[in-house]
Amino acid sequence: MQCDNGSELFPVVDEAGTVVGSATRAECHGGGMLLHPVVHLHLFNARGELYLQRRPAWKDIQPGRWDTAVGGHVDYGETVGEALRREVREELGVTDFAPDRIAAYVFRSERERELVYVHRTVYDGAVVPSDELDGGRFWSRDEIFENLGKGVFTPNFEGEVKLIFG
């Protein structure tokens, strides 16, 4: 069974995104509330459907729930743009896309605090989910709204729905 690498090094940032230090994944996810940056990409097709990934059961945060098409941590020494392109390539096999940043906000759960950089794109090419994911599919806007608040989606995704659908 796969598991997250607790010794992976993340930047610690202030709310403006300035790097102020570094910490391991385990430290960032262990309740210490160290603010660390992540990237999200909401991938729409030309029909307006939104691709969502299913988080695998082995993930340490929100296993088994549906989430943004791409979500991942910024590695220490990496820019937000570099992290976004790396995560999209790793998780969906997509390399030719034009992201638009739509927001940046602080997300807080019982275990962690993240500075989330939210992007969207329209893409109609092949999407090939990696083994980091438990698959994925396109959802209609109505289907997403019918399932909000039912434990189907991650809290992060539910919080971003209003940002991406306006």
Q: What is the pLDDT of residues 80-116, one digit of tens each?
A: 999 999 999 999 999 999 999 999 999 998 888 999 9
Q: Is the pLDDT of residue 2 over 60?
A: no
Beta bridge partners of 11: 22
The least confident of 23-27, 38-42, 43-47, 114-118 is: 23-27
pLDDT reported for residue 110? 85
Of the candidates 54, 12, 19, 6, which has an alpha carbon nearest to the alpha carbon of residue 35? 12
pLDDT reported for residue 5? 63
pTM score: 0.90
Cα separation of 145 and 9, whole Å? 36
Please give the domain boundaries of the chain with CATH numbers for all domains.
Answer: 9-165 (3.90.79.10)
Cβ-based neighbours of 124, under 8 Å, separated by 6 or more: 45, 46
pLDDT reported for residue 4? 56
Q: What is the pLDDT of residues 49-62, one digit of tens each?
A: 999 999 988 887 78
Cα separation of 21 and 34, whole Å? 10
As to burial, measured by CB atoms within 10 angstroms (0-12 exposed, 13-18 middle, 19+ buried), residue 10 is buried
pLDDT reported for residue 3? 47
Cα separation of 20 and 63, whole Å? 30
